[in-house]
Amino acid sequence: MPQIYDRVALIGLGLIASSMAHAMRAAGLAGEIVGHARTEETRRTALEIGLCDQVYETAAEAVRGADLVVLCVPVGAMGEVARDIAPFLEPGATLTDVGSVKQAVIEAVAPHVPVGVHFVPGHPLAGTEHSGPRAGFATLFQNRWCLLVPVDGTPPEPVARLRRLWEGMGANVDEMDAAHHDLVLAVTSHTPHLIAYTMVGVADDLRRVTDSEVIKYSAAGFRDFTRIAASDPTMWRDVFLTNKDATLEILGRFTEELFALQRAIRRGDGDHLHAYFTRTRAIRRGIIDAGQDTDAPDFGRTKVHR
């Protein structure tokens, strides 16, 4: 695939940024990849493993001359980073992000974007429970979705160009408005993560079950909860603080469903339980049919395919 950007600046060098760097390099999508990370250790690691051609101490230095700047920092930090880099962004450059909340990011970043710079928020729906510059791999985005949420007034060309980049990294791309994005993600990602954190916390608090038993006898369901609950705590703290309304709405609906199931169990209503589980089982089949997971007995998670 032909080169799409001359110089890409990755601000934040964790799982998503490092995977983007590997994927862009593998497909020849960027002429030069530079980066910035907050800590010296991360910057040193990124250089050591060849993640970036150059790594800078400040985000302002990293964005100079870049025709694509990608904000890969926690959503709570994006406004501050955007303010810091704004005077150094190249006219005609595209600014995007990879945050899993969009309304709050747009509100925080858009006021700082200079005239002539195109802000195209994005969100790749891909990840693992691992973080840091060594966590990334080139195939992370293969057959995963990336949602683009262009702000009003954005010309079509920068959006189309960014779409080509994500498609070149293996992703399927769709566009969505910010409010709908945040509601969809509250259902598919944010609330499930909160439930996973809660279930693992319940196991920790339930002193009638010892720590060794929780670890030793973990069934597949609990193991998946622990995998999800091992995700980056800073990122997920910011997600819940910035997507508060949508998450609380879905949590309210979840609570209503949970009460209905509690009542069915208490009353011995097997018909209700069977009908409910049959309906939810079909959702799983739909995810597999869409190519977003596998029906292998180990859910495809025996090893990470890189």
Answer with the residue of higher pLDDT: 197 or 18. Answer: 18
Distances (CA, A) of 15 to 95, 224, 287: 19, 19, 24
168 and 191 share one domain: no
Q: How many CB atoms sit inside 10 A of residue 224's CB?
A: 16
Q: Given a cut of 70, is residue 237 above it in pLDDT?
A: yes
35 and 161 share one domain: yes
Q: Given a cut of 50, is residue 305 above it in pLDDT?
A: no
Q: Given a cut of 60, is residue 8 above it in pLDDT?
A: yes
Whether 297 maps to a domain, the answer reads: no
Q: Which pLDDT score is estimated for 40?
A: 95
81 and 201 share one domain: no
Sign of CA dihedral 95, 157, 181, 126: negative
- Mean pLDDT is lowest, of 14-23, 167-176, 192-201, 293-302, for 293-302
**Banded model confidence at residue 101, pLDDT cuts 50, 70, 90:** very high
150 and 233 share one domain: no
Helix axis angle, 191-205 to 233-242, nearest 10°: 120
DSSP state of 189: I
62 and 168 share one domain: yes
Whether 279 maps to a domain, the answer reads: no
**Banded model confidence at residue 212, pLDDT cuts 50, 70, 90:** low
Per residue in 247-304, pLDDT tens?
999 999 999 999 999 999 999 999 999 999 998 888 888 877 877 776 665 544 554 4
CATH of the domain at 44: 3.40.50.720
Name the domain boundary from 150, 176, 202: 176
162 and 48 share one domain: yes
Average pLDDT (239-245) is 91
Q: Which pLDDT score is estimated for 45?
A: 95
214 and 80 share one domain: no
Q: How many CB atoms sit inside 10 A of residue 140's CB?
A: 24
191 and 231 share one domain: yes
Q: Given a cut of 60, is residue 306 above it in pLDDT?
A: no
Answer with the residue of higher pLDDT: 129 or 168. Answer: 168
* 192: containing domain: 180-268
Q: Given a cut of 70, is residue 209 above it in pLDDT?
A: no
43 and 149 share one domain: yes
Spatial distance between the Cα atoms of 232 and 235, rounded to a whole number of angstroms: 6
Average pLDDT (142-163) is 96
Name the domain boundary from 154, 176, 198: 176
Q: Which pLDDT score is estimated for 9?
A: 98
168 and 203 share one domain: no
Average pLDDT (39-64) is 96
Per residue in 156-184, pLDDT tens?
999 999 999 999 999 999 999 999 999 99
166 and 229 share one domain: no
Whether 298 maps to a domain, the answer reads: no
Whether 292 maps to a domain, the answer reads: no
89 and 172 share one domain: yes
CATH of the domain at 186: 1.10.3660.10
Q: How many domains does the chain have?
A: 2
Whether 228 maps to a domain, the answer reads: yes
